[in-house]
Structure 1
Amino acid sequence: MTVPSRRCDNSTRAQTSLPALGIALVLLTVVTGLGVAMADTAIAGADRAPDERRVAAAIADQLVAGDGPLAARSNVLNQSRVDDFDQSALEENAPPASEYAVSVKLADEEIARSGTVQGGTRISRLIVVEAREPRTLTPDLTTTDAVTLPRRSARATVTIDPPTGTSVWTVRANDRVVLHNRSGLDGSYEVSLVPYETTELRFQRAGRLESGNVTVEYDAPRSTKETLVVTVDA
């Protein structure tokens, strides 16, 4: 009677173990599948990231280059060009933007975008944004012959209205003669300046000049440091 009892117990244990084994196999299959899927995702992400970084860096470098669509000079952006920048300009000046989703932000504000950017790789560049504000000087030339303009002024409009008995025949910008008429200068004249130096306009004259006989209009630069961020999502 003892032997049949052992066989019955063994049979019962075997039957009880079968469902547990099945569950274990199912769990193993699920875990393996998840592991393979995660590995595939990681590999795909690893393959995509270098390409995103390369494209983002190339676009960022193009936008801040001295001959780029936004630049006044290398790493200095012209505010007017920034204001006019859009998706068409982005795709025209950065052809990869036609194939990738690209976002361009300046000071945390998006200025151009192509496609839908949900993640991707970001490249930042520290730059200066330069805007220009029109200003007018009415120098008092009763005791001096010169007026000084700030650096980065590229041009000026000089208006000369001399009183009777006074003649102005030459205007110099530092060492350069920018206006000359031996018979006398009278009217408004466009003058080109060297933007990388402070400019002293000196008036060669005979007679007295009062305040208001000469006015100088120029664009004064205003610069701010900002961050340009290019995001590429492949």
Structure 2
Amino acid sequence: MTLSNHRSDDTVRAQTSLPALGVALVLLTVVTGLGVAMADTAIAGADRSPDERRVAAAIADRLVAADGPLAARSNVFNQSNVDGFDQTALERSAPSASEHAVSVELADEEIARSGTVHSGTRISRLVVVESRESRTLTPALTTTDAVTLPRRSAQATVTIDPPAGTTVWTVRANDRVVLHNRSGLSGSHTVSLVPYETTELRFQRAGRLESGNVTISYDAPRSTKETLVVTVDA
């Protein structure tokens, strides 16, 4: 092979290598760019997640607190408070909700939201939801002087309409005197009860009471266990 031919071969090989080198550089640039983008995303997610978790936990703790906007007591929600809860109540009770997108769900149903939540960080709390329904008893007091009400009733309305010749002068709730009139009780009276104990209402009387002479109305509690979920998308 002559010197000129050898130089020609080297030139061809060099020219052939140039496109491959260009492709390699392009691939290296793309891979590097993807790596940097993924790293930035991971860092951003790592930076955002603790803040979301902190805010979500703070809002959840506020909602389940004894003096929270939904509470009947600690970790127990009043259904009436739940029914009236909305974005305004959320932001008033948890000001951070006005600065972040927040969703509050109870029993898989959204009850309040501020902003638009796409994903975010979720914090869950187990709670009890209490609701009340009115019930009325017409006790048969012909053979007894007492009637028992269930626990967790905070008050009752006792209506006394005694027949002629009968006087009811005292009503006791367990050991407490809640109504008394020596001349005789009649009409409707609201009495306070101790909600943490079963209450026996006892009627002190002279004469006979028939069914319908006494009626007792009270709020009967109903409790269900539910899951509260607070989601924050910062």
Q: TM over 0.5, yes or no?
A: yes
How far apart, in 1, do the equivalents of 2:199 and 2:55 lie? 42
Q: What does residue 85 of structure 2 align with?
A: 85
Aligned length: 234
Q: How many percent of aligned residue pairs carry the same amino acid?
A: 85
Cα-to-partner distance string for 1:203-225 (whole Å, 9 max, x where unaligned): 11111111101000001011111
SS at 1:72 equivalent: strand
Q: How does 1:168-187 map to 2 (within 5 A)?
A: 168-187=168-187
Deviation of the 1:42 alpha carbon: 0.6
Q: What does residue 75 of structure 1 align with?
A: 75
Deviation of the 1:7 alpha carbon: 1.8
Deviation of the 1:161 alpha carbon: 0.6
Deviation of the 1:175 alpha carbon: 1.1
SS at 2:163 equivalent: coil
Cα-to-partner distance string for 1:56-84 (whole Å, 9 max, x where unaligned): 01111111111110011111111111011
Cα-to-partner distance string for 1:147-185 (whole Å, 9 max, x where unaligned): 111111111100001111111111111111111111111
Q: Does 1:101 align with 2:98?
A: no
Cα-to-partner distance string for 1:17-41 (whole Å, 9 max, x where unaligned): 1111111111111111111111111
Q: Does 1:111 align with 2:108?
A: no
How far apart, in 2, do the equivalents of 1:66 and 1:174 lie? 28
SS at 2:142 equivalent: coil
SS at 1:152 equivalent: coil
Deviation of the 1:3 alpha carbon: 2.7
Q: What does residue 41 of structure 1 align with?
A: 41
Q: What does residue 205 of structure 2 align with?
A: 205
How far apart, in 2, do the equivalents of 1:122 and 1:95 lie? 18
Deviation of the 1:2 alpha carbon: 2.9
Cα-to-partner distance string for 1:36-56 (whole Å, 9 max, x where unaligned): 111111111101111111110
Q: Provide the TM-score with structure 1 as the length reference.
A: 0.98
SS at 1:111 equivalent: strand
How far apart, in 2, do the equivalents of 1:74 and 1:201 lie? 29
How far apart, in 2, do the equivalents of 1:199 and 1:2 lie? 119
Q: How does 1:128-167 map to 2 (within 5 A)?
A: 128-167=128-167
Q: Please list every run of 5 or more consecutive structure 1 residues that lacks an aligned counterpart in the other structure.
A: none
Deviation of the 1:98 alpha carbon: 0.5
How far apart, in 1, do the equivalents of 2:215 and 2:42 lie? 67
Q: How does 1:186-201 map to 2 (within 5 A)?
A: 186-201=186-201
Q: What does residue 29 of structure 1 align with?
A: 29
Q: Please list every run of 5 or more consecutive structure 2 residues that lacks an aligned counterpart in the other structure.
A: none
SS at 1:228 equivalent: strand
Q: What does residue 66 of structure 1 align with?
A: 66
How far apart, in 1, do the equivalents of 2:144 and 2:58 lie? 52
How far apart, in 2, do the equivalents of 1:9 and 1:223 lie? 90
